[in-house]
Structure 1
Amino acid sequence: MTHSSALSPESRDAAIATMTGTGGETELDVLVVGGGVVGAGTALDAVTRGLNTGLLEQRDLASGTSSRSSKLIHGGLRYLEMLDFGLVREALQERGLLYTRLAPHLVRPVSFLYPLTHKGWERPYVGAGLALYDAMAMLGKYEMGLPRHRHLFRKQVARIAPDFKADKLTGAIRYYDCQVDDARLVVTIARTAAKHGAHVATRVKVTGFLREGERVVGVRAVDLESGRELEVRARVVVNAAGVWTDEIQEMVGGRGALHVQASKGIHLVVPRDRIRSDAGFITRTETSVLFVIPWGRHWIIGTTDTPWDLDKAHPAASRTDIDYVLAHVNTILREPLDHDDVEGVYAGLRPLLTGESEPTSKISREHTVVTPVPGLVMIAGGKLTTYRVMARDAIDAAGHSLRTTVNITVRDSITDRVPLVGADDFETRSNQRVLLARRSGLHVARIDHLLGRFGGMVDDVLDLIASRRVLGLPLEGAEDYLAAEVVYAVTHEAARHLDDVLTRRTRISIETFDRGVKAAAPAARLMAEVLGWSEERTAEEVDHYLRRVEAERVSQEQRTDREADEARVQAPDIV
C-alpha cells in the first residue's frame, strides 16, 4: 500500500479523523507523543514493522530540542575522552549509515581542526584518540564514507585557517564528521513515516491518558487549531517528549523511572566572511566544548552547557551566555568578533537523564527506555545522531507489551534499510543539475541549494515553479530562499504558522541580521494563499513573528537566565 509523503493541511485532518475513529479505523497499535527526532523516528520504526501508527505533536515538528542543536551527526569526541566507548561506536555507526544510505541528501561531511598547543605529549595523545575514532567508524557495520584524520603543522594550519591564531599553536589535527539541518531531518523522517502509512498530526496537545484499570489505552488531547477535544485509543503509547518527560509522567500519577534534567546550550550564527577558514574548529572550554562550524554562508559557534529550569518551550539566551561564547571564540581568532557580528542566536535544551549530583556537562547522553505502567513506554536521553537506535529500542519495548497483552508479534526493526524520502533519486538528480537548471530557468547554484534541502523531491518544488513562475523568484527579504520553498513547506511539510516556516522549514530567523523581519510579510502572504488566511489573520501571524523577534532581542540583553526568560515569554506561541 502506497501513501503520499506530503504532510498537508488535508493530511492533518485525515490523520486526526483516523486516529479519533471518525475516519472509520480501529484503534492504533502504537501512538507516539512528541514530534522531535526521537518521536518521528519512533513512528517510522513502528510503521515499517507493520504496526498501525499515529504521532501527535503539541507544537510543530522539531519545535523543541531537535531544531536547536549544533547540527552535527557525529560520534562525540568528548565522550571518547570520558571512556564512553559504546556510545561513540554506536554514534559513529549511525553517522556512516545516515551519510551513505539513509539520508545522503541531507547529511554532508564537515572537517574540523583540533588545535595542538603543547609540545611533546599532546600530539600523540590526541592523535591516538582520533585514530581510535576513525578505527571505530571503519570497523562498524556500515561504511565510514569520510576521509581519515591528518596531522598538520603550524604553517599548514595558517594556510587552511588564516584567521585563527596559528602562532600560538604547535599544529593541529584535521578530522571529519558530518552535519545536517536538524529540523529538516525531523520533517523528512516524519514524511517518510507518513509515506509508509503513519498518521501524523501537529498542533495537538496531549492533556491526559485513557485508562482501563492500571493499563494506558490511549490519550485525551485537544486540537489547538480548532479547540476540539479528542480521544485517541492505542494499544501502546510511546512518550518521546524529551525535556517534557517529567510532565508526561505526572499525567500517570507521577509514576515513572525517568527523571530528565534540561541543559541549555546556545549557539551564535555569524557570516562566513567574518572568519577566513576552509575548516571548522573545536576547542575546549572550562565547562564544555566550543565548536566553530561551517554552515553554508555562515558559521555556527557554540555551545554552552548550563542547567535550565524555566520555560521549556522557549529557552532564552542571555547576554552572559553570548559574552561567554564570544570570549572563548575570540581567544583563537586574530580578529575578534563582537555583538555586531552576530546574525542569529538560538538556545536549545538537551534532555539529559539525571545522575547523582553531576553537572550537566558530565551526564552521559545514553538513552533509557522504561515501561512505568502497562501500555505506556517512555524514552529519554540520547542525542540527534542516535535517534534511530532510540526509536528501535522504544518499539522493541512496545513490541514486548503487545506480545504479552494482545498477542501481537512485532517484527524486527528495518529502519537501517529504509532510506528517507528524497534519498532514492538524489544522486541521479545531482548528476542532472545542469539539465534541471536549464529546464527550470534557475541558476545551477539554486538547483544545488534545492538538492541539498529536498534531494530527489526537488522535482516537486520545480513542478510548483513550473505551475507558477513567480514562485521561482527569491523570497523578498531572504534571497537565499525561493518563494516556492514557503509554499512547499505548507503543502508538503506540515507548516501551519509563519514561525514554522521562518524558524524551522528555513533558517531565515538566524541567517539574516534582521532575524527575518523583512521576509515575514512576503512569506505570510504566500502561506495565506494556501491556508486561506484572511488579511486580518495574515497580519496577526506577521505581528506575532515580529513580537517574537523583539522578545528574543530583549532577552539577549539580559544578564541572568531568569531575566532573559521573563523577556522571552512575553511572546508566547500563537494560537
Structure 2
Amino acid sequence: MQPKALTGRSRDEAWQVLRDSGRPGRAVDVLVVGGGVTGAGTALDAATRGLSTVLVEAEDWASGTSQWSTKLVHGGLRYLQMLDLHLVHEALTERGLLLRTLAPHLVKPMPFLIPLEHRWWQRLYYGAGVTLYDLLANVLPGERALPVHQHTTRRGLHRAFPDLRGGRAVGAVRYWDATVDDARLVTTIVHTAHTYGAQVASRSRVLDLVREDDRVVGARVRDEETGEEVDVRAHQVISTTGVWTEEVGGLAGADGGLRVMASKGIHLVVPRDRIRGSQGLFLQTERSVLFFIPWSRYWIIGTTDTPWHGDLRHPVATATDIDYVLDHANTVLTTRLTRDDVLGWYAGLRPLLQPGTRGEPDSAKISREHTVVSPVPGLTVVGGGKLTTYRVMAADAVDLSLGDRAADLPSITTQIPLVGAVGEGAMRRRMPALRDRFGWDEQMTDHLLHRYGSLVEQLLDLIAEDSSLAQPLEHAPAYLRAEIAYACISEGVLHLEDIMMRRTRLYYEAAGKGLAAAAEIADIAVQWLGWGEDKAARELADYERRVRADEAAASQPDDLSALAARDRVLRGEPAAATPGTAGGSS
C-alpha cells in the first residue's frame, strides 16, 4: 500500500473520529491507549483485522520506555540462565521476522563477543547456552536469519576487539543478535498502522475511563494541544501503557492482579573512535549486564538495573549511574574513558511484571514475559514484555479483547512489512548513483537506507522541490535537511523536542544534546510546519530548558537529588551543583 503520511490533518481527522464516536452507531471498535511500541503494534494488528481503530498517546510516539532501550532486537541471552525458554524462543522468532520480512531496513544483524576467562568450563557453559540460543532461533522452517555462533581464540578476540583488556581472556564465543533505532521503529509502526486505516493522535491524554454498569465503554480524552476534552465511545479499550499499567487499572477500579515494577536503566554514548572494536561485547556485572554496542558513529554502553520510585515521565541519569557504567567499562578496556568522552546519555524505565513476593524484588532477576488480562469487561490490559516481542503482545491483546470473534479475525501481522521495507533492495542499488548526484558519502546513504528503506524516495521528492534539502545540517552533518522536513510533514511532529529526541537522535548522540543544531532545525520547522517566529522561539527555549534540566540532574549523586535539580531548572531556578560530580561535555 502507498504509505499514508502522519500530518496535522491526519491528527485532526483522528480527533474528529473521537468526537463522532459518541453518536449512535459511531463507536470505534478499538481504542488503544499508549503510543509506545506495544500500542503502535496493537493499533496495526487491530487495523489489519478490519477493526475501526484509534490510537492515542499522551505525549509523542515512543516518548516513554520505547525510546530508551539498549537498541537491540534480541532473544535475551541472559534469560536462558533463568531457563525462560518460552520467552527466549518467542523473542528469537520475532527477531527473525523483523530481520527477514517486517523491517529489514530498520533491524540490522550485529555480532557480539562473550569473552572467556576459563578455557574449559566457560567454553562448555557459554557454548551450550549459545547453542541452545541458536537452536531456539532456527526451529522454524525457512532461511536462517542470522549465522550460528562460533568459538574464537585469544588472537581472534584481539583482532575483533583490540581495546579489550587482554588479562585473563583465553578467547570468546561469538553470537549474533540485531540492532534497531527504537524510537524510529515505533514511529514506523504507527505510520504503517495509519496506512492500514488506524486513526492516530499523539498529545492526546486519557483522563478517565467511561463505564456503564460494570463495563468500560470508552475513555475521556484531552487534546494536550488545545485543551479540548471529549468522551470517546469504544467497544473495546486496550491499555498498552507500560510503567503506567497500574494507573490505568486504577481508573477502571481494578488492576486485574497486574503489578508493574519500574526498573531504571541508563546508557552512555561514546564516539566510535574512542574504543577500537568492530563487534559488540557482552559481559555480566554484579547488578546487570554490560553491553558495548557499535551503533552508527558511536558506541552505546550500558546498562544499569535499579528500582525507580520517582516521576514515571522523567527518569534521570545521575552522576552515580554514569560513573558506574564508566567504571565497569574501564575495568575491561585498555583505553580509559572519562566524563569528557561521553557525548550523551539517557535513562529509561523497564515495565517489569512484579512477582507476588514481599519486599522489593531484584529487578535484574525478573523475567520479561508479558501478561494480557481483562480486569473488567470492555478493558484489556497488557503488562510486562520487551521491545522485541511487541508484535506478539499486540496480537495477544487484540485476541483477548475480541474473545470468541478472534477465531474469525486472526492476526495477520506476520505478513505485513512496515513502511519502507518493500523495495528496500531496489533503493539500495540506486545509492551509488545518488552518491554521485548529491555528493553524499557511503556512510550517509547507509544512514538513509537504515532509517527509511524505500521511503528514501519521498526524501528525493522533497529535494526535487527544494535542492537545499540535499545538504547536511551545519551542526549535525549526519542528518540531511530533508530528513527534518520529512519529519515535519510525514512523521507526526508537533514540537521541536519530537525532532531532537525521537525523529533524530541528537538529544543523546551530539555534544550539548544537539543544542548547536536546534536553531537550524527550528528554521526548517518554520517552513514546513508553518510555525511563526514566536512559536519557533518558544520551542527553542523549551528544548534548551529540557537540556539544562537533564544536565543538572546528571550532576547529582542520587535519584532524589537529581529529580530536585531537574525540577529547579524547569521552574527557572538555578540548579545547585554537587562539587566533583559534573564534568566534561556531558
Structure 2 match to 1:453:
451
Report the Cα offset of residue 64 of structure 1: 0.6
Q: Which of 428, 433, 436 lines up with 2:434 in the alignment?
A: 436
Structure 2 match to 1:476:
474
AA partner of residue 19 (structure 1)? L
Q: Which of 546, 549, 552 lines up with 1:548 in the alignment?
A: 546
- Structure 1, residues 409-463: CA drift from partner, whole Å, max 9, x if none? 7510000010000000101111221133345554444332211100011100111
Give the Cα separation in 1 of the matches to 2:161 and 2:314: 35
Give the Cα separation in 1 of the matches to 2:163 and 2:373: 49
Q: How does 1:20-39 map to 2 (within 5 A)?
A: 20-21=19-20, 26-39=26-39
Give the Cα separation in 1 of the matches to 2:403 and 2:453: 36
SS in 1 for 2:513: coil
For structure 1, which segment, 556-565 or 409-418, has the greater mean C-alpha deviation from structure 2 after superposition?
A: 409-418
SS in 2 for 1:69: coil
Give the Cα separation in 1 of the matches to 2:81 and 2:11: 45
SS in 2 for 1:502: helix
Structure 1 match to 2:516:
518
Q: Which of 367, 370, 373 lines up with 2:370 in the alignment?
A: 367
AA partner of residue 376 (structure 1)? L
AA partner of residue 423 (structure 2)? D
- Structure 1, residues 73-102: CA drift from partner, whole Å, max 9, x if none? 001110011100111011111000100110
AA partner of residue 6 (structure 2)? L
AA partner of residue 114 (structure 2)? Y
**Structure 2 runs not aligned, ≥5 long:** 572-586
Give the Cα separation in 2 of the matches to 1:572 and 1:16: 30
AA partner of residue 15 (structure 2)? I
Assess, with a 3 A threshold, how the Cα gap between structure 1 residues 103 and 572 changes in structure 2: closer, same or farther: farther
AA partner of residue 434 (structure 2)? L
Report the Cα offset of residue 118 of structure 1: 1.8
Is the CA contact (8 Å cut-off) linking 2:21 and 2:232 kept in structure 1? no
Structure 2 match to 1:8:
7
Structure 2 match to 1:83:
83
Is the CA contact (8 Å cut-off) linking 2:470 and 2:482 kept in structure 1? yes
Is the CA contact (8 Å cut-off) linking 2:552 and 2:569 kept in structure 1? no
Structure 1 match to 2:186:
186
Report the Cα offset of residue 476 of structure 1: 2.4
Assess, with a 3 A threshold, how the Cα gap between structure 1 residues 63 and 570 changes in structure 2: closer, same or farther: farther
AA partner of residue 36 (structure 2)? G
Give the Cα separation in 1 of the matches to 2:149 and 2:473: 40
Structure 2 match to 1:125:
125
Is the CA contact (8 Å cut-off) linking 2:161 and 2:277 kept in structure 1? yes
Give the Cα separation in 1 of the matches to 2:21 and 2:508: 41
Is the CA contact (8 Å cut-off) linking 1:3 and 1:197 kept in structure 2? no
Structure 1 match to 2:574:
none
- Structure 1, residues 29-58: CA drift from partner, whole Å, max 9, x if none? 001000000000000000101111010000
Report the Cα offset of residue 119 of structure 1: 3.0
Identity %: 52
Give the Cα separation in 2 of the matches to 1:320 and 1:193: 40
Is the CA contact (8 Å cut-off) linking 1:237 and 1:377 kept in structure 2? yes
AA partner of residue 51 (structure 1)? L
Structure 2 match to 1:398:
401
**Structure 1 runs not aligned, ≥5 long:** none
Q: Provide TM-score, normalisation by structure 1.
A: 0.96
Report the Cα offset of residue 253 of structure 1: 2.1
* Count, aligned residues: 568
Assess, with a 3 A threshold, how the Cα gap between structure 1 residues 538 and 34 changes in structure 2: closer, same or farther: same
SS in 2 for 1:510: helix
SS in 1 for 2:294: strand
Is the CA contact (8 Å cut-off) linking 1:96 and 1:137 kept in structure 2? yes
Give the Cα separation in 2 of the matches to 1:22 and 1:288: 47
Is the CA contact (8 Å cut-off) linking 1:93 and 1:141 kept in structure 2? no
Is the CA contact (8 Å cut-off) linking 1:49 and 1:410 kept in structure 2? no
Assess, with a 3 A threshold, how the Cα gap between structure 1 residues 446 and 104 changes in structure 2: closer, same or farther: same
Report the Cα offset of residue 397 of structure 1: 0.5
Report the Cα offset of residue 530 of structure 1: 2.3
Is the CA contact (8 Å cut-off) linking 2:22 and 2:231 kept in structure 1? no
AA partner of residue 325 (structure 1)? V
Report the Cα offset of residue 5 of structure 1: 2.2
AA partner of residue 478 (structure 1)? A
For structure 1, which segment, 302-311 or 22-31, has the greater mean C-alpha deviation from structure 2 after superposition?
A: 22-31
Is the CA contact (8 Å cut-off) linking 2:254 and 2:376 kept in structure 1? no
Is the CA contact (8 Å cut-off) linking 2:153 and 2:171 kept in structure 1? yes
Give the Cα separation in 2 of the matches to 1:349 and 1:87: 20
AA partner of residue 348 (structure 2)? G
- Structure 1, residues 322-353: CA drift from partner, whole Å, max 9, x if none? 11111111111001111110001000000001
Q: How does 1:91-490 map to 2 (within 5 A)?
A: 91-141=91-141, 143-355=143-355, 356-357=357-358, 358-400=361-403, 403=405, 410-440=408-438, 442-490=440-488
